[in-house]
Structures are given as C-alpha cells and as structure tokens.
Amino acid sequence: MKKRIGIIGAGILGLAVAYRVQERYPCAKVWVFEKEGGPGRHQSSHNSGVLHCGLYYQPGSLKARLAVEGIRSMIDFCRQHEIPHEVCGKVVVASDARERQFLENLARRGAANGLKGLKFLGTSELKNREPFVRASSSLLVPEEGIVDYLAVMDSLAGIIQYKGGHLQYNSPVRAVKSHHGSGTVVVETPQRETEVDLLVCCAGLHADRLYRACTSEMPPLKIVPFRGEYRMLRQEAERLVNHLVYPVPDPAYPFLGVHFTRLVHGGREVGPNAVLAFKREGYHGSDFSLSDTLDSVTYKGFLRFLVRNFRFTAGEFSSSFSDRAFLVKAQKMIPDITQDQLVSGTAGVRAQAVAPDGTLVMDFSIIRHDSQIHVLNAPSPGATASLAIAGHIVKEYVH
C-alpha cells in the first residue's frame, strides 16, 4: 500500500497508530500532527503508569478484548525496547460485605476476559505481600504492573522517524478540507497544508471538537474533563505500600477509586480522585476556561449526568478541597496512613465521553466518517491498550 496517512495527536495512541501503520504497510507515508512541542504532553504523561490487564471491563466489549491483548503487546514492546517496567501484580481490596460481592463479580469478569492467575488471598498471604492493608477480602491480579509511558512514547517516536514518518510538533490542526471526488483530506496547520488519503484523529481531550471541525457534524458524544489529583507518600512512609493496591471500584463509574501505586522509578503515588474540571487541559484546581466550562454546562448529557450523580460529584470535589477527605479515602485500605505522610503530587485530566442521555461511556469508541477515523473515547486503560487499539484501527479501517 502506498497510501498517505495523517494522524492528529502525538499522545500514546496517535503514536501507536503511526507505528502499527508503518509495521503493516512499510511503503505508507505517515504524518503525525501535534499541537504541543513534543509527544505525550497530556493524558499519556499524566496518568498512573499502570499496566492494566482487563479485570474490570464488560466481557465481549472492545475494551475487554483490547485491554487483555494490549497488556501483552505493551509488555512485549517494553521487553524488546528495554523500557523500564515491572509485572509486579496488583491487589484489589474489598473493605466490607457489599464490596466483597463486587469483588467476586470482578473475579468472574476477569476470568471471563481471559486473565490468568487470579487468586483470592488468605489473611497471611495478604499480610506477607501488603502488611499494612486492611481487607475484608482481597484479590491478586498477577499480570498487572507498572511502566514508564514517557519512555514508551519516546521509543515509538524514534521508530516512527527512523522509518521515515514525519512527526510535526507545534502543529495544531484547526480544520480539514475533504475532497469528496478523490476521497482525500487536506489537513491544515499554521505551517502548511498536507493532503492525505486517510486521517486518524487521536485528539484525546479534544476528540469531540476535532470531530466537529473535521466533519462539520455534531459528535454523537461529548468529552467532559475529569481531573485526577494525586498525593505522594513521604519517603519514610513508602514502606506502607509494596506494589499496587486498589479498592473495589463502584461499577457505575469508569474511575478506579483512590489507589496506591508504586512508581517504576521509585516513590509511591496515592490517587487519583475524579473531579469535574473547568478546563480541558487544566492541571490545577484553580484552572478555568470559560469556553470549556460553557461547552460542558450547555450540554444536556452533562446536566443529566450531574443530576443523577450529584453525591458522587460532591464527594470527589470534597477530596479535592479537603486533605482530610482525601486521607479518609486512602485510610479505607491502609488505616495507618496519617495526614503528615501525604504530600501533594501531580494531576492528570481524563477525557471522558458522556452520551446525550447522561451516561459515562465505558467502552472505547471509534467512528469512521468517510476518509476519517475518529477515536472519540479512549479512557483508561487506553495507555496500556494503545498498541492493541492501534492494531484494531489499522486492521479494521486502514486498507
């Protein structure tokens, strides 16, 4: 194939798509347009750095399939390119009888999704592994791990360029022109116009806006930004967490709850919460954008979500404003943690698609529109699954 493929967004997903295109079609010409000065400046570098393997997701969904395939491809890639990672396993902790039931459901889901080695831990097994965790029941997920996603993206970017692909940074795409006769698309950036045969949009927090700008149609979903704030454990308190410790998530939400993560380069992170953000790329609580806020509050789906999830939303805001409320979430699993052991950490903003009826879209969402492919929803575990999502896009849509 001698096609010209344009990709918008040099997050982990856009880079993975470019990498998979070149792998399958060595003669294809590839451009990646990125508005920032380098790769992965948004979600892909503001996440927990965890390799998720598909425990949570509805069996049969695209997410379940691509998460399981994705973690295996990502670990292979890391081994091949000597990227720091570790398959350290994760413990999911139920704190009461209700959560114990949810955890049993999760174990069944995980087994149905093909995860290997899932195991409920006895009291002494849990104590050996995570001595400070208090649990009514706990499930070991041995396939999960931690990774340096920035190193993954640096490696992908290097390979793409080595194979002749063009990574165009500082190149915000504002519009495209579609030529219906030839089926080609002209991508407009401030520097130049580039004609391609197929355009793949992986614009993360701007996915819905890009859909509208490129197709002149309203997107079927809207991105609502949810900021996730982290705290770090002080060095002397790092002994409280050995690996990955997660609560049982509320099945109504795609967020995993405040958890403990051992970072691949050292340190222990606590979080993130899931706070409605007033700016799509706003990493601080005080960040505000009038247009982003208006975009959310004038969307019926967002208002429906708010009405139905007021308690959840208020609870997450309280953990943003109050250190005490954040601590309570952390102490649920590790009661020995004290306020003075937590210091403020980084934050990320999730691009979460919300449907017009107010539901949070759980599955990955990829839509074809003529010569354009739009990834409209790629939340967690989008980084883990990026190579598998990219493989799926290339197989299904790039011919």
Ligand X SMILES: Cc1cc2nc3c(=O)[nH]c(=O)nc-3n(C[C@H](O)[C@H](O)[C@H](O)COP(=O)(O)OP(=O)(O)OC[C@H]3O[C@@H](n4cnc5c(N)ncnc54)[C@H](O)[C@@H]3O)c2cc1C
Sites of contact with ligand X (CB under 6 A)? 8-14, 33-36, 40-44, 46-50, 52, 172-173, 202-206, 210, 228, 272, 348-350, 378-384
Please name the residues in contact with 77: beta carbons below 8 A apart, sequence gap of 6 or more.
83, 152, 155, 387
Per-position DSSP letters for 127-138, written without gaps between them: HHH-TT---SEE
Q: How far apart are the C-alpha atoms of 66 and 60, rounded to whole Å?
A: 10
Give the nearer residue to ligand X in terms of CB position, either 137 or 361.
Answer: 361
Omega within 30 of 0 (cis) for the link into 379: no
Considering beta carbons, is residue 126 or 156 the nearer one to ligand X? Answer: 156
**Cβ closer to ligand X: 137 or 277?**
277
Strand pairing class (365-369; 119-120): unpaired
Tokens of 112: 């149905």
Nearer to ligand X, 206 or 262 (CB): 206
Q: Residue length, the chain?
A: 399
We find the least distance from the C-beta atom of residue 319 to ligand X, in angstroms, to be 14
187 vs 333, beta carbon nearer ligand X: 187
The least CB distance from residue 55 to ligand X, in Å, is 12
DSSP characters over 298-329: T-HHHHHHHHHTHHHHHHHHHHHH-HHHHHHH
Nearer of residues 247 and 348 to ligand X, judged by Cβ: 348
Question: In whole angstroms, what is the distance from residue 132 CA to residue 353 CA?
Answer: 36
Beta carbon of residue 9, minimum distance to ligand X (angstroms, whole number)? 3
* Least distance to ligand X, CB of residue 119, Å: 22
Nearest residue to 153 (alpha-carbon basis) of 272, 9, 266, 353: 9
CB of 7 to ligand X, least distance (A): 9
**Minimum distance from CB of 327 to ligand X (Å)?**
19
Our CB check for ligand X shows the closer of 124 and 291 to be: 291
Distance CA 270, CA 183 (A): 48
In whole angstroms, the minimum distance from the beta carbon of 182 to ligand X comes to 23
Pick the closer one to ligand X by CB: 135 or 383. 383
Q: Please state the closest distance from residue 311 (CB atom) to ligand X, in A.
A: 22
Please report how close the Cβ of residue 27 comes to ligand X at its closest, in angstroms. 25
CB of 351 to ligand X, least distance (A): 6
Nearer to ligand X (CB atom), residue 42 or residue 243:
42
Instruction: Give the residue with the Cβ less far from ligand X, 47 or 73.
Output: 47
**Nearby residues of 218 by Cβ (< 8 Å), 6 or more positions away:** 212
Rounded Cα–Cα distance for residues 293 and 343 (Å): 29
